[in-house]
Amino acid sequence: MTQVAEDIEREAGAEAVVKKFMFVNRKAPHGTIYALEGLEVVLISAAFDQDVSLAFLDDGVYQLLKGQETKAIGVKNFSPTYRALEGYDVEKLYVERESLEARGISEQQLLVAVQVVSAGEMAELMEQQDVIISS
């Protein structure tokens, strides 16, 4: 746990409650700010020792493609950050198979190790959460 999170917990005087948080990503990476902002929130939540998972479906699967080169469009290439999530103990990345197939993307084209799941399995994972945050 980070120092900040520890301080907040001590001030609150509360027992640590671990909830299941799922961040659902359904947007392509650079056309809107959703993906980048969503990733920032994931990193913040990771500091609070919660049970965090990420889901990628619909155009959200484009966020995980290898070889993103954003220099010429003048925006930050935040895609390497997905590889850093492991260092924050965020290790559950679920990608929907149907969304990959609809876009001609194979698992080998993704820049990080993920669990590929069916739409039905994704729906089941969503049901198991305490909190779902969409971006």
Partner 1 sequence: MLHIVNKSPTERSALASCLAHARKGGAVLLIEDAVYAATKGSAAQASVERALRELPVYALGPDLDARGMGASVIDGVKVVDYGGFVDLVIEHRTSQSWL
CA R_g for the chain:
16
Is residue 51 a contact point for partner 1 (CB under 8 A)?
no
Q: How big is the site for partner 1, counted in residues (CB under 8 A)?
A: 17
Is residue 30 a contact point for partner 1 (CB under 8 A)?
no
Is residue 33 a contact point for partner 1 (CB under 8 A)?
no
Site for partner 1 in 99-118 (CB under 8 A): none
> Of 5 and 28, which has the nearer Cβ to partner 1?
28
b/e per residue 78-105 (b: at least 16 CB within 10 A): bbebbeebeebebebbbbbbebbeeeeb
Smallest distance from the beta carbon of 132 to partner 1, in angstroms?
A: 4
Smallest distance from the beta carbon of 58 to partner 1, in angstroms?
A: 5
Give the three-state DSSP class for 84: helix
Pairing status of strand 51-56 against strand 20-25? parallel
Is residue 4 a contact point for partner 1 (CB under 8 A)?
no
Smallest distance from the beta carbon of 10 to partner 1, in angstroms?
A: 29
> Of 32 and 70, which has the nearer Cβ to partner 1?
32
**Rounded Cα gap, residues 15 and 65, in angstroms:** 39
| Residue 131 structure tokens | 């909190």
Give which of 17, 53, 51, 26 is closest to 125, Cα–Cα: 53
Binding site for partner 1 (CB under 8 A): 24, 26-27, 34, 57-58, 119, 122-123, 126-127, 129-132, 134-135
